[in-house]
Amino acid sequence: MKKLMCSVLALLTVFTCVGCRSRRDPNANTGDDYEVNLHPDTNVTATLRVAVNNYTAELKIVDELGALFKKKYPNVTVKAEPFASGISQQYSSWYNAGDMPDILINNTFDMFTLSDKGILLNLDPYIKAEAADTESDFDLNDYYESYLKMGQENFDGAQYMIARSADRVVCHYNKAIFEAAGVNMDLVKNGWTWDDFFTVCETLRTWYDANEREDYYLLDPYFTWEAVYNPIFEAEGVQYFDADGNVTLDKGDATENALKFIKSMMDKRYAAPISVEQAGMEANKGCILFHSQASSNIATKLQPYYPGQAVEEFYDVVTMPVFEGNEKIGCGAAGYSVYSGSENRDLAWQFLKVLLSKDGQNVMADSGANYVPVRKDMADYKDPTNHWGKGFENCNMSAFTYNCGANGDPDWNCYTTFIAQQKPKQATNISNAITSLISSYCNGNSYDTVIKSCVNAIERYIRM
């Protein structure tokens, strides 16, 4: 999961044309009162169009999922519809041309606006029908609840998107540098605290300064990304809005404490100032990265600096640091939705079920980026039947699934529920205002100045 914040304002303006052509009236299927068929004719002839980002790995996923789908529906062609522009721009173009694909790659932010405008199919009738069908092998309990919620209206309502993988922010690190610096590796374990992290960073900073790396920073933090800052804010007790929707960021000390905590890592020269280039872990300069990217993406970029070495000699991963007693780790979701006007909605649902199957999840892992399965029963990365751990059996891949709510474990996953406290059209505006708050404070502006500007901006958006 990269930072997935598209232009929601653009979505609002482009999906308002009256009389736009579509294969089915979008307004007819925005509720949950339509009929479903869980058992489409296996000999049906159709073309199922899947909107997908124009990347090699993404196209491979759709192609191989299509091959799995054809085993049951041999006369259905699964056709990828690649696009290089943002979701808002491309979907508006298709919608206004009356040519929307059946299945849409999506993310939480865009899902809010698309579902609010009636573009996405409410999937609840299918989920309920599966639960009532004695022949069904689909069970919501097979999947991490927090990732399912990322595809729901207001995180607890109708299901408009199915998450395709467990996208969680983790702490990627350069193991070779950690060991060369003499880091106490007993501290670097799943569930470690921010105090542990600061101790490790102090050791690393000392080693960097003594080894002609004094101009390098340690950490690529992405502090202005909601998946990183929001767990810190929530753990510090920040309340974005009250029950009536009024802005409360400026009430009490929580927001200032969270900002001071973030800035302290820049003051200590662990992280680069926000106005400066990132530390560059992937270029073997920095040695820590907070992100949800697949391990294969990071290790592949580091490999040229460690020729001939096994991946576990120079790379590993651990959970994000947490505040003891108030443990929160950022997560998000990319997934697939069904267009509300699709004439192939029953087949589209069957495609989503293939995606969520064990074979489908292995297709995701084999695409070139070892995406973490959204299925709880595939968490064991050392099990050779679970492909996502292939090549990383000697790394700590459990960081991606540690305390995600499976098997009675606590669920530390933290998602941006604050965006659901206002109208969907304001999700990006509000998040951008908070991003500006963090950037401005870390760039040296006073708390009083930046919090006033942030609150005024959000209140202005709410009134729009």
Q: Is the pLDDT of residue 26 over 80?
A: no
Q: Is the pLDDT of residue 407 over 50?
A: yes
Picking from 172, 166, 176, the residue whose alpha carbon sits closest to that of residue 317 is 172
Token readout for 34 is 């339509």
Q: What is the pLDDT of residue 113?
A: 81
Number of domains in the chain: 1
Averaged pLDDT, 376-386: 96
Range of the domain at 12: 8-167+332-392
Number of H helices, E strands in the chain: 16, 12
Q: What is the pLDDT of residue 85?
A: 87
Q: Cα–Cα distance between 3 and 212 in angstroms, integer?
A: 33
Q: Considering the entire predicted model, what is its pTM?
A: 0.92
Picking from 167, 146, 108, 195, the residue whose alpha carbon sits closest to that of residue 410 is 146
Q: What is the pLDDT of residue 121?
A: 96
Q: Cα–Cα distance between 282 and 173 in angstroms, integer?
A: 10
Q: Cα–Cα distance between 428 and 451 in angstroms, integer?
A: 18
Picking from 285, 309, 133, 137, the residue whose alpha carbon sits closest to that of residue 217 is 285
Beta strand 103-107 with 329-332: parallel, antiparallel or unpaired? unpaired
Task: Provide CB contacts within 8 A for 288, sequence distance 6+.
Answer: 171, 172, 173, 174, 201, 204, 218, 219, 220, 279, 281
CATH number at residue 52: 3.40.190.10
Alpha helices in 167-294 (DSSP H): 175-180, 194-210, 226-235, 254-267
Average pLDDT taken over every residue of the chain: 91
Alpha helices in 133-214 (DSSP H): 145-149, 175-180, 194-210
In a domain, 245, yes or no: no
Q: What is the pLDDT of residue 4?
A: 42
Nearest-5° Cα angle at 320, 145 to 381: 60
In a domain, 25, yes or no: yes
Averaged pLDDT, 5-21: 41
Q: How far is CA 54 from CA 8, 59, 83, 91, 292, in A?
A: 21, 7, 5, 14, 20
In a domain, 218, yes or no: no
Cα dihedral 57, 149, 247, 266 sign: negative
Q: What is the pLDDT of residue 14?
A: 47
In a domain, 398, yes or no: no
Q: What is the DSSP letter of 269?
A: T
Q: How far is CA 59 from CA 44, 65, 75, 79, in A?
A: 24, 10, 20, 10
Q: How far is CA 295 from CA 187, 310, 319, 369, in A?
A: 21, 14, 13, 8
Q: What digits encode the pLDDT tens for the residues 280-289?
A: 999 999 999 9
Task: Provide CB contacts within 8 A for 198, sequence distance 6+.
Answer: 268, 270
Q: What is the pLDDT of residue 28?
A: 43
Phi/psi at 435 (nearest 5 deg)?
A: -60, -45
Token readout for 432 is 């951008």
Q: What single letter denotes the amino acid at residue 238?
A: V
Averaged pLDDT, 430-436: 95
Q: Is the pLDDT of residue 89 over 90?
A: no
Q: What is the pLDDT of residue 403?
A: 97
As beta bridge partners, residue 319 has 170
Averaged pLDDT, 252-256: 97
Averaged pLDDT, 215-240: 96
In a domain, 47, yes or no: yes
Token readout for 400 is 């991606």
Nearest-5° Cα angle at 135, 131 to 137: 65
Q: What is the pLDDT of residue 20?
A: 37
Cα dihedral 380, 383, 386, 389 sign: positive
Roughly how many angstroms between the first and final C-alpha of the chain, as a whole number? 30
CB atoms inside a 10 Å sphere around CB 207: 18
Task: Indicate the angle between helix axes 358-365 and 345-356, nearest 10 degrees.
Answer: 70
Q: Is the pLDDT of residue 364 over 70?
A: yes
CB atoms inside a 10 Å sphere around CB 407: 8
Element (H, E) at 14: helix 8-14
Q: What is the pLDDT of residue 24?
A: 43
In a domain, 230, yes or no: no
Cα dihedral 25, 30, 31, 34 sign: positive
In a domain, 15, yes or no: yes
Q: What digits encode the pLDDT tens for the residues 287-330?
A: 999 999 999 999 999 999 999 999 999 999 999 999 999 999 99
Token readout for 82 is 């690649």
Q: Cα–Cα distance between 307 and 263 in angstroms, integer?
A: 36
Q: Is the pLDDT of residue 236 over 70?
A: yes
